[in-house]
Structure 1
Amino acid sequence: MSNNTIVSRVENDRVLVLERTFDAPRELVYSMFKEAEHLKHWWGPRGWEVPVCTVDFRPGGVWHYCMKCADPNQGDFYGMESWGKAIYKEMIEPDKIVYVDFFSDAEGNVNDAMPSTEVTLEFIDLGNGTTKLVNRGLYASAESLKTVIDMGMMQGITETWDRLEERLNAVKG
């Protein structure tokens, strides 16, 4: 049974650790993060879609994407685009993915005015087809971490991981 509660804690003022358990095999959960076809279905908060998603899944490769608000009930956010770019540093399938996550523009130029994050994803096999996902986000400063939290990142990641669980359930059949 999935535990859809995200456990979060801050370490050393600039590391945000998020954990959640999914009722899916580790290899399947891992594949959700490396394949554009999966990411397009679940990445981003509710009401947002991913019309652009390219993934070059290798060290030094780039994941570039656009999230667009498709929900008219989200008021001023409706129609808004948010671009992101990640540069992969390391992957050990099916255990770990490390990348640096940036805000960007449509051309992939990094927005230096916004905080970047070094993300380490760990996929822990708990047995019985259950996986614990641990996301460690390292920020340059406590202020950078506060900036993304103030932007609503916790609600966004909760909704995103809810959508991940829905995608896992759909793929598992």
Structure 2
Amino acid sequence: MTDATASKELIITRTFDAPRELVYRAFTDPDQIVQWFGPVGFSVPRDTVEIDARVGGHQRLTMVSDDDPNMTSPVDATFTEVIENELLVGTEEWEGIPGQQEGGSMYMRIEFHDEGGKTRLVLRQGLYTEEVADMAREGWESSFTKLDTLLVD
């Protein structure tokens, strides 16, 4: 993928009906992330998850298709900025993403804003091609629907 085609930043804003400490923990606690991460139709086996939420720490996990366990999507990210309950910033190496050059990387910034007992989350990720940005948006929205359910329980 060339720089000319990788020009789309994905931005998603979503409000969760839970305090930001709980939403932040859902992103940094391995036992919680396996319950919601990945679009519907994908699972994250607990034994694939490692999270060390500090500058220089990492997030590693593997999404696995429920229909075809041979279809996997690993996540290998390094945190470059962490403010507990407020901010997670990092870079992610990818492989096996259709339309993306193998061995590439992208950035991600997740902000957690207090909205009177609720949490406004702002996610920025990219850069993507238009097609891949649309797929990533669908994946995040599906994941966030699962996160809504986890936060209510």
TM-score, scaled relative to structure 2: 0.83
**Structural mapping, 1:1-150, within 5 Å:** 13-51=7-45, 52-70=48-66, 72=67, 78-79=68-69, 80-104=71-95, 113=102, 115-127=104-116, 129-139=117-127, 144-149=128-133
Distance 1:124 1:102 in 2: 27
Percentage of pairs with the same residue: 33
Q: Which runs of 5+ in 1 are unaligned?
A: 1-12, 73-77, 106-110
Letter in 1 for 2:62: C
SS of the equivalent of 1:24 reads: coil
Distance 2:145 2:103 in 1: 26
Q: Kindly provide the CA deviation profile for residues 1-53 of structure 1, in whole angstroms up to 9, marking residues without a partner as x.
A: xxxxxxxxxxxx43221100000001110111111111111100012111111
Q: Which of 149, 158, 163 in structure 1 is aligned with 2:141? A: 158
Contact 2:20–2:114 (CA<8 Å) still a contact in 1?
Answer: yes
Q: Which range moves more in the overlay, 112-121 or 16-25? A: 112-121
Query: Aligned residue for 2:3?
Result: none
Distance 1:94 1:145 in 2: 30
* Matched pairs, number: 141
Q: CA RMSD in A?
A: 1.9
Q: Which runs of 5+ in 2 are unaligned?
A: 1-6
Letter in 2 for 1:155: E
Letter in 2 for 1:97: L
TM-score, scaled relative to structure 1: 0.74
Report 1 or 2 for greater relative contact order, CA contacts < 8 Å, sequence distance ≥ 6.
2
